[in-house]
A and B are shown apart, each in its own frame.
Chain A
Amino acid sequence: MSGFVVAVRTEMLKARRSRVPWGVAIGFSLAPLVTGLFMVILKDPERARSLGLLGAKAQLTAGTADWPTYIDLLGQAVAVGGAVLFAFLTAWVFGREFADKTVRGLLANPTSRGTIVLAKATVVATWGLVTTAWVLALGLLIGGLIDLPGWSPSEGMATVMAIALAAVLTVALQGWAAFFASAGRGYIAPLAWTVAMVALSQILTVLGWGAWFPWSVPAILAGAGGAAVEPVGPGGIGLVVVTAAVSLAATIVWWERADQTG
């Protein structure tokens, strides 16, 4: 068995046995549940009020209770929620080695440090994408159960694919969270970085530069910002790919060259 496969298996064992990755999966599952709840309320506000789901004077302005609105909301929840939750996952996978000081066992080791980083990145990507697939499947199931009108197989699947692409790009951007978890030797730096990038992406999207800012691209692809926002082209996606590749390389170089004093 190659060193990489062994490293992935050990990282996967750690992930399976810890609460954090499962917490991320459960937290992410709230996206279709909450979005579905909004659709139930929009579909019949009076019934929602009688059930106590909506306050007497409150109104929900998320749009109409149909498939396009539902998928659009789900996409935004996946893009924004994914950016934060995947950062939690990445901060844990990389940062815990420094917080728990277990990194010492990974350094003077026959399995190279680069292999360890790639294995960790693989676990983050796998966990993130499997969780996204689960959330999308759950979303479609909930949409079907609510019996929303306006389902178009071609449009619906195109939107789902756009959300899936957004999730892939969101996972790819976690490379910088991995770098800051390593260089910051813990959890604070990657989470601070993520908050900063989410905030900056909002500002740049409003200013019209979102399609060219890597951290805005996934959310725009998933439908956040609406029709007023400049659509993302291949250039924007290319920027995300380059950013992800640079971040992964930077993380590997850091693991291989930085002084490990923790």
Chain B
Amino acid sequence: MTITPAIKKDYLVKLANSGKRADGRRFDEFRKIEIKTGIVLKAEGSARVKIGNTQVVAGIKMDVGEPYPDTPEQGVMSTAAELIPLASPDFESGPPREDAIELARVVDRGIRESEVIEVDKLCIEPKEKVWIIFIDIHILDYDGNLFDAASLASLAALMTSKVPAKRFELGEDYPLPLKEPPISCTSAKYNGVVVIDPALDEEEIAEARLTVATDQNGDIRAMQKGLNGSFSKDEINKVIKVSIDNGKKIREQLYNSIGK
């Protein structure tokens, strides 16, 4: 560990011992979230999400292509994330590195496995032609918790997407068929305290990380633990509860922002 993070860690740990965080939040409090949709007119759907200083843009493009042979009647989705050098002095241009790939895969899994996109309805001609959905995520400003920001931006972009049928001469455009999405909330643990929505400072000193995605019924839809630290069973239960509570609020905000 270099000098600056060591000093920072000291500071954050001292604050944590007296129940505080550097930006004055409670341990179970998210930063302010802003969701704005329809920001890129060339995209089928788009959204910019700010969580505190973290800023992410997601854009949806659709194309007509061949389905996979094992799912001949289902649409195809693909997710890519770019940690563009705009967002942080440490990001470099070029092919995606490990962290960009992990981010894209976690977001992809959250959307794919929870079956938010009704891929059965995206078949044009079995075995021949289906809709292909590209989710592209651009990190514009990096201040921690990219997982939640990227997932939320992708969902908001999907929920405002129109299938561009007219452009492909397949009839009128129509809204992308979707089901209720799960909302993901990430927590980080350092010095024995667990905080939700870690800022970059907190992320840098975190020993363990846990992402929990919950649906509208408060059921758990996806989880991912990261880093080499550990959680106790009690801590996990607490994280789940906090994630359900925050997920509820975020879902409400998401629906409000897309006018639903």
Q: Decide if A and B are genuine partners.
A: no
**Residues of A in contact with B (beta carbons under 8 Å apart):** none
